[in-house]
Structure 1
Amino acid sequence: VFMINCQWTPEELEHHLDAEAKRYIAQNDIQLYTINAIDLAIEIGMGKRTNTILQSAFFSLAGVIPQDDAIKYMKDAATKSYMKKGQEMVDRNHKAIDLGASAYTRIEVPAEWANASDEAAVDELKGRPELVKQVREVMEPVGNMNGDSLPVSAFVDYADGQFEQGAAAYEKRGVAVSVPVWDPAKCIQCNQCSYVCPHATIRPFALTEEEAAAAPESCILVPAKGKAAAGLQYTLVISPLDCMGCEVCVGQCPTDSLSMAPAEGQLAQQAAFDYCVDNVAPKPQLEDATVKGSQFKQPLLEFSGACAGCAETAYARLVTQLFGDRMYVANATGCSSIWGGPAATSPYTVNKDGHGPAWSNSLFEDNAEHGLGMLLGYEAVRDTLVARTENLLAAEGASAEAKEAAQAWLDARGDAEASKATAAAYIAELEKIAAGECAEGAANAQAILDNKEYLTKKSVWIFGGDGWAYDIGYGGLDHVLASGEDVNVFVFDTEVYSNTGGQASKASNIGQVAQFAAAGKDIKKKSLAEIAMAYGYVYVAQVAMGAKPAQTVKAIAEAEAYPGPSLIIGYSPCEMHSIKGGMANCQDEMKRAVDCGYWNLYRFNPAAPAGKKFILDSKEPAGGYREFLMNEARYSRLTREFPDRAENLFERSEEAAMERYQHLVDLKAMYDKE
């Protein structure tokens, strides 16, 4: 028995199944059924969750136990599993079980399917040869569940663990039931939709007259706004085959310029997206470290397998837009290693020059040390380049042009953009020397060219979740921050061990229900940011993208520019929080958290002048703290299971939040006096 969950009619199914599937079904006498659990789930208020409907249909068709018994056992299990989320959730699941038991349709398999002819071969994949090879020989077989058939020889090129960047762009999974549709008449071109997109599937572009003329018909163009964009055409393109349908962009749009529509009717948008990605050149005059300007930069993290609506990927994607072409990432084991480094399908990618983040995952407990090691190794190579460049300057046979380029690079090597610009001219001169007749000079020049990628100043980042930063890897993190070295740490704070199923961490707050805190955590959240601030020479920021978008990008830019250790902690709503309305409300939930005082925004910059070292970006809490807690089942479930304890813990949590804000106000006053 084979059941397909789809929205297709029996007639449409004929066109969607490929020849191989048809032959297999017909030749093996398989009973074929379809079920539209997608629409059923929406109708009964289950959103995108079809699993309960499908499970009920399975037991109905499989007949492994009597159907009445199966329904009873499933309803008992649903009551036990979902009562913590309220009776309404239990009732929805019970209804899903009843519907699933009979919502499927038997499809008569045509006899001609047994001899179905294969379709014409698809176009050859385009891209870097080494990446296409990886996609064809490893990613596609694994994605098609044929990984066990791969020979050892298929992995020889990847024996050291290195995979090509950018393979995720070839997946085109098409998993979204509905995708965004853009209304340019309402759009103010703020780019906030792209700014919050977890999967980089909605992007703004500015096109020249020539680029606009060659664009496909599905690419909607309007005059770009702003003096710097004079003469350019603006478009907002969506990749329906990569979109996860999370709806975060729709909720973020301040002018209701985006709405959701069935994905099947929006596939023409793919041509516009692909054209812009492949053919529209960067517009440096529009790119800067602002909410709008950052989104004209190419995201070098795209199409990850993270949960729909994920906050972590939105933060990480933004960092790659600002620094990705010269970026090293040491990643702690956890959610960010799962969506960041699945074998053969890397969502981290490269630009048209082949430059992108170099990403590595070591262990859970030593990630900070791993990142520091990246920096020290890079600096050791760079020290050698400096010494060789000084040798070139001292050489009698070097031309004036070569010495000028060498000196320019030496002077600029500590500045990211300046080192990039001077490196290009320096490399051109080195290539001339390497091809020259002076053996000694040629060898020295070639040695520099062999490591030319190190000429541009790198941006070293350490990514991880709160389980790593607050708990298991804290000792290493503290060591790295104390070192004074120029590393940047970004903590995705979900306040729980998300990847391992929802265990409490030291980032979990008072009253939060999690594994190992079933009756609500009774100890307040660890103040990791203030611990780091105590050193006095660590840049520290707490951010929440959905609460104050400009503050987030400003903090990231300041942290990277600071010539020492930096720590950014980003509030990251998660599936584990069970937010009412789901992760479509991820960014809104950040705003609620900040408005009520649950999460505070601030920046501590040791390099800033007196009176500006500590900036408190949060306003005084506006109330609604208890309402915020009740909007998330990780808190609200406690009121049903331990109501008296819930009242006590929630009261303590709110008191602690108000005291924390006043403490930050006092802290600001103290720094302002210095």
Structure 2
Amino acid sequence: MGNRINTIMQTCFFALAGILPRDEAIAKIKKAIEKTYGKKGAEIVQLNIKAVDRTLDNLYEVNVGGANSNLHILPAIGDAAPQFVREVEGVMLARQGDSLPVSKLPCDGTYPTGTSKWEKRNVAQEIPVWDPDVCVQCGKCIAVCPHATIRGKAYDAGSLANAPESFKSIDVKDKAFAGQKFTIQVAPEDCTGCGVCVDICPAKNKSMPSKRAINMESQLPLREQESQNWDFFLGLPNPDRAALNLERIRQQQWQEPLFEFSGACAGCGETPYIKLATQLFGDRMVIANATGCSSIYGGNLPTTPYSVNSEGRGPSWSNSLFEDNAEFGLGFQLAISKHQEFACELVQKLAGILGDNLVSQILNNGQKTEADIYEQRQYVAQVKELLAGNTDPDAQQLLSLADYLVKKSIWIVGGDGWAYDIGYGGLDHVLASGRNVNVLVMDTEVYSNTGGQSSKATPRGAVAKFAAGGKPAPKKDLGLIAMTYGNIYVGSVALGARDEHTLKVFLEAEAYDGPSLIIAYSHCIAHGINMTTGMSHQKAIVESGRWLLYRYDPRRTEAGENPLQLDSRSPKKGVKDSMYAENRFKMLTKTKPEDAKRLLKEAQQDVNTRWEMYKYLAERSLKSEE
């Protein structure tokens, strides 16, 4: 067989080089293919050759103008953008980066954040349009938007005084904000048109059952109008974060996202989790990001989707390699902890200047809630005011470290290729350290960024590179391995299945004083699904038991309670329907139907066994074992 394949390749080369006549080469290739793959393979090759030949009859010249044409590959960056964006990143966007002198580039390698908003890609043919009369204000469309192009706000009616004529608003339904107005607004030039928001919307128009509270309409006729509405919306005051109920998606999603307009795929399943984290903790986040999809859409030149709020606070982000990202993040934690420790020592040392009351407030603030964080920042502001102009060396050192008195939220972020495979040794080391870090694993069950190779997170029966015949082994249970330590918070979530469960896990994990691990199911284009219905598909795989929702919280053990809470209901259906809704499973039924049948049966047994094991572990009574 190997010799025949070599013959095919050699014949192709001779034909391309003009050594063999085309017809003779085709006949020779066809004969070799028939011997190797049978007549069906030869027929497919012949069809491919015909398709190539027919393209020659359908090539037409498109006149795009001469060398001095005004044609732009990408829209020019507007004058409103900062100078660096216009003169450096704008040049890169126009694909003229080679013309930049070194003197224009940042000497320390850092780039400004919040620059993706200046791109205005205009890639969507259709964008979502909000119907306020049908909307139930649940916030689900905002939560699942992969590019943060859908936003919601509650605000005083007086803020509408200068609103554009087409700007939509309605009374807030939430009683906690009674008397205020509410708007959902879309950024038309940043939206990718994936339609995930429409698919997730639960509100149906009773007079037009095919319509929902948000519907897709042509972008071009709406672009100018909705761009004006978007600009006005951004100028509306954001709700007071301390007044929001962060355990309810409908209110929590009014928080400003500090991750927006990334270059991720339309309908991406990963980015909503990052956006959620930045909404909750972004003004004090420090992120170590493993190489992969999240590093490409998170920090690829020329623009950056991580942004800042009106006070100039936002996530600090840096990328490391697959194999050492966990250690990279641990380094952040060790350095920040030492800065915090030293700052607290200086606060005590300078009590004579700061006052015992302020010192006590700073050192005894648990910083567990938004209100606590806000108070701590006020205390830090007082410290800076009291020490301003003080030339004492200790005072000068405290001024340089004062911001470390506010709790930092350290996140180690990456995909399953990093967490389950290449970086697993380092991840295990960091989790075992007991240090207060938060790990977010966006599990696509395959190496997404590098072309769809099988990982240890790939489930049994899935076709991927290095598993062309369907992965023969079951998926590695990263969460169960982490639970064996007993002191790690572990959460398994799927935003499309239960959004408020996802929200609860993020809040509990970040509040836990120790290592936490969140494993987030992330649908991916590599799965071979309709990305528009990605969130609905997440719900389907949870209902089939392929993905479990649970929380393992060591703090419950202290109260004599079982630390494991199984938040999934028992599987409603078999795995067949949800598996064969994905091409990565379905294609095996075409190429190796008998193997597909066997692997489907084994995959169902995997799900049954795992469900029974988790159910048993979650139902155990700790008290009965004493």
Which TM-score band applies after superposition, normalised by the shorter structure?
A: 0.7 to 0.9
SS in 1 for 2:595: helix
Structure 1 position 513 matched with structure 2 position 513: no
SS in 2 for 1:349: coil
Match of residue 137, structure 1, among 87, 101, 116: 87
Q: Residues 210-229 of structure 1: matches in 2 within 5 Å?
A: 210-229=158-177
Query: Within 2, Cα distance between the matches of 1:341 and 1:115?
Result: 30
Query: Within 1, Cα distance between the matches of 2:231 and 2:361?
Result: 39
SS in 2 for 1:340: helix
Query: Within 2, Cα distance between the matches of 1:381 and 1:254?
Result: 47
Question: 1:159: how far off?
Answer: 2.9
Distance 1:670 1:329, change over 3 A: same
- Number of paired residues? 566
**Paired AA for residue 274 in structure 1:** D
Q: Residues 585-596 of structure 1: matches in 2 within 5 Å?
A: 585-596=533-544
Distance 1:195 1:671, change over 3 A: farther
Query: Within 1, Cα distance between the matches of 2:91 and 2:77?
Result: 16
Q: Residues 221-260 of structure 1: matches in 2 within 5 Å?
A: 221-255=169-203, 256-260=212-216
Question: 1:651: how far off?
Answer: 0.6
Which residue of the partner structure matches residue 188 of structure 1? 136
Which residue of the partner structure matches residue 298 of structure 1? 256
Match of residue 312, structure 1, among 254, 270, 274: 270
Structure 1 position 386 matched with structure 2 position 344: yes
- Is 1:250–1:259's contact at 8 Å kept on the other side of the alignment? yes
Query: Within 2, Cα distance between the matches of 1:527 and 1:115?
Result: 56
- Is 1:613–1:671's contact at 8 Å kept on the other side of the alignment? no
Q: Residues 149-228 of structure 1: matches in 2 within 5 Å?
A: 149-155=99-105, 158-228=106-176
Query: Within 2, Cα distance between the matches of 1:577 and 1:108?
Result: 37
- Is 1:503–1:516's contact at 8 Å kept on the other side of the alignment? yes
Which residue of the partner structure matches residue 378 of structure 2? 424
- Is 2:365–2:376's contact at 8 Å kept on the other side of the alignment? yes
- Is 1:406–1:426's contact at 8 Å kept on the other side of the alignment? no
Deviations 1:45-103 (A, max 9, x none): xxxxxxxxxxxxxxxxxxxxxxx99xx9xxx9xxxxxxxxxx9xxx99x9999799659
- Is 1:420–1:455's contact at 8 Å kept on the other side of the alignment? no
Structure 1 position 597 matched with structure 2 position 545: yes
Query: Within 1, Cα distance between the matches of 2:471 and 2:562?
Result: 36
**Paired AA for residue 481 in structure 2:** I
Which residue of the partner structure matches residue 581 of structure 2? 631
Distance 1:191 1:98, change over 3 A: farther
Q: Residues 35-50 of structure 1: matches in 2 within 5 Å?
A: none
- Is 2:122–2:189's contact at 8 Å kept on the other side of the alignment? yes
- TM-score normalized by structure 2? 0.85
Question: 1:290: how far off?
Answer: 2.3
Deviations 1:474-493 (A, max 9, x none): 01110111111111101000
SS in 1 for 2:322: coil
Question: 1:218: how far off?
Answer: 2.5
Match of residue 646, structure 1, among 574, 591, 596: 596
Question: 1:217: how far off?
Answer: 2.1
Query: Within 2, Cα distance between the matches of 1:154 and 1:658?
Result: 59
215-224 vs 383-392, greater mean Cα deviation: 215-224
Deviations 1:234-283 (A, max 9, x none): 01000010000000000000011111111101111122222222332333
Query: Within 1, Cα distance between the matches of 2:156 and 2:55?
Result: 53
Query: Within 2, Cα distance between the matches of 1:565 and 1:169?
Result: 34
Question: 1:670: how far off?
Answer: 1.8
Query: Within 2, Cα distance between the matches of 1:261 and 1:516?
Result: 41
- TM-score normalized by structure 1? 0.79
Structure 1 position 269 matched with structure 2 position 217: no
Question: 1:409: how far off?
Answer: 0.7
Query: Within 2, Cα distance between the matches of 1:624 and 1:213?
Result: 55
- Is 1:182–1:259's contact at 8 Å kept on the other side of the alignment? yes
Match of residue 461, structure 1, among 364, 387, 411: 411
Query: Within 2, Cα distance between the matches of 1:207 and 1:217?
Result: 18
SS in 1 for 2:190: coil
Distance 1:115 1:509, change over 3 A: closer
**Paired AA for residue 408 in structure 1:** Q
Distance 1:353 1:115, change over 3 A: closer
Query: Within 2, Cα distance between the matches of 1:610 and 1:422?
Result: 33
SS in 2 for 1:546: coil
Query: Within 2, Cα distance between the matches of 1:426 and 1:319?
Result: 24
Deviations 1:15-73 (A, max 9, x none): xxxxxxxxxxxxxxxxxxxxxxxxxxxxxxxxxxxxxxxxxxxxxxxxxxxxx99xx9x
C-alpha RMSD of the superposition: 2.8
Query: Within 1, Cα distance between the matches of 2:287 and 2:587?
Result: 38
SS in 1 for 2:91: helix
Q: Residues 323-334 of structure 1: matches in 2 within 5 Å?
A: 323-334=281-292
Query: Within 2, Cα distance between the matches of 1:140 and 1:492?
Result: 31
Match of residue 483, structure 2, among 533, 536, 547: 533
**Uncovered stretches (5+) of structure 1, i.e. residues with no partner:** 1-67, 77-86, 127-131
